[in-house]
Chains A and B, each alone.
Chain A
């Protein structure tokens, strides 16, 4: 694990030194800012009509915007992690240094997760601004951020895996986007299948829409935490196996 730290630092450096990072962050904050502005505007005009919801709930759940952002954000963040190193051959220098596959995988994962958290961090200011004219339930906000963190962590882990199984960044991008989209569509199945069927149970278990609505309302369900926990751990495990597998190809 000693090699975790240098690789982690280098990955962060490599990401922030490219224009891609700054484009992603700028677009992300622009979209989130607009999203938030429209919501607050909507709630201040509608007043009593929308009283069963707060702007925080709407910001983190119940609208398509959050998922659209995740869908557009995660694949370009993870696509280069392994695919680029394998294409350019730098993976050879990396893996012939005294490092373990686990530390390489974890360091790369931790670097995108850090970036992801750093991208969301400025949105806390939205809530601070909101508090100046209203009341913010910080417990609910914390729960909502936990939801955003867990969903993002799961998606990033899947993206890392996709990057490890191909040498093409573009393919990694497409595959990650498809998996994220696939999970979302499977989750939407909750609303179209009949209650009580197996399909309905499966769909509601993976439904990111329902999960985020819970988190945004301040409900932390241990099933959700376990689900996203396994969405993180399982792909990471398979990624390590994939990295080991190149050597025996």
Chain B
């Protein structure tokens, strides 16, 4: 549905030139909901603006639904429902009026327009404000009017730039629900800098930082990175015996006593590098078995997961920013 190849965007010329997007390539297949993730200023909006036909690219090739965005811009733009970052709307228009205008602009035939507008308002949950001036709407409503605008011509592809930016938690949930429903009928590419956002609504993510692609893959393959950290075991019995038993388990790199209760001890273990999921599971079983045979009683087994935020920080921090980490799209 979307194919981005070696996209480069440079702002300005000569000494003032700034590279906003640096050799980014990715694809979005039909029916996918893809999250476009990156810290602020990573080049997300620039990439989406190029995709939507608003900005020109410095070099590279972008095609949408098989149409080249440069040579067949017109056809490509007809396939996209684009919601810009700040959701710019005309404040002097009423919601239904505005959507009718947008539908006409997007060449919805005259006889279909009322139905398309009603449909978009129902899907985006703004039908109760159809006759309200856009200028007097709350931020949450405006955001959803922007969504309705993106939907109104029933495009096969939706490109949403930070659809939940600046909303309160309730509004975020509402918009998220709407997006999840939309994913059933449309291909969706949405950008965000909030990870839980992606986790809630996307099947695949593309992560960029400082204009470069740093990771791409399914949610599971990103989650696999977060399995990492280690294991906490709470045992009752002799600490030294427990430690030596655990340290002998293959897969465990380090084990340190962390805190002691009245009769229990907390042991913190970390995994060896590159231990896969099956290996981790096996190591946990073996650790428990080793503890029991060493005469210790196991009270608690608790895997330590690094939060998504930590994975995100690791992926997008400067040391990791330059190495390309491609995960295969197909997961085992």
Q: Identify the A interface with B (CB < 8 A).
A: 2-3, 5-7, 9-10, 13-14, 17-18, 88-100, 247-249
B77 touches A93 (CB 8 A): no
Q: Which of B56, B77, B89, B101 contacts A96 (CB 8 A)?
A: B77
Determine the distance from Cα of A93 to Cα of B161 in the docked complex, in whole angstroms. 12
Closest to A99 in B: B105
Determine the distance from Cα of A89 to Cα of B52 in the docked complex, in whole angstroms. 14
Determine the distance from Cα of A89 to Cα of B11 in the docked complex, in whole angstroms. 19
Chain A interface, >50% SS class: helix
Known contacts: A2-B107, A98-B106, A247-B55. The answer to whether A14 contacts B90 by CB under 8 A is yes
B5 close to chain A: CB less than 8 A: no
Q: Which of A2, A17, A89 contacts B86 (CB 8 A)?
A: A89
Interface size on B, residues (CB 8 A): 27
B56 touches A95 (CB 8 A): no
B107 touches A96 (CB 8 A): no
Q: How far is the CB of B8 from chain A (nearest CB, A)?
A: 13
Known contacts: A17-B92, A98-B77. The answer to whether A247 contacts B82 by CB under 8 A is no
Work out how many contacts link A and B, with CB atoms closer than 8 A.
65
A10 touches B55 (CB 8 A): no
Contacts of A14 in B (CB 8 A): 90, 92
B26 close to chain A: CB less than 8 A: no
Contacts of A93 in B (CB 8 A): 82, 84, 88-89, 102, 149
Determine the distance from Cα of A90 to Cα of B92 in the docked complex, in whole angstroms. 12
Q: Which of A7, A9, A88, A96 contacts B54 (CB 8 A)?
A: A96
30 chain-A/chain-B pairs, Cβ below 8 angstroms: A3-B107, A5-B104, A6-B105, A9-B101, A10-B93, A10-B101, A14-B92, A17-B92, A89-B84, A89-B88, A90-B89, A90-B90, A92-B54, A92-B84, A93-B84, A93-B89, A93-B102, A96-B52, A96-B54, A96-B77, A96-B80, A96-B84, A97-B105, A98-B74, A98-B105, A98-B106, A99-B105, A247-B56, A248-B55, A248-B56
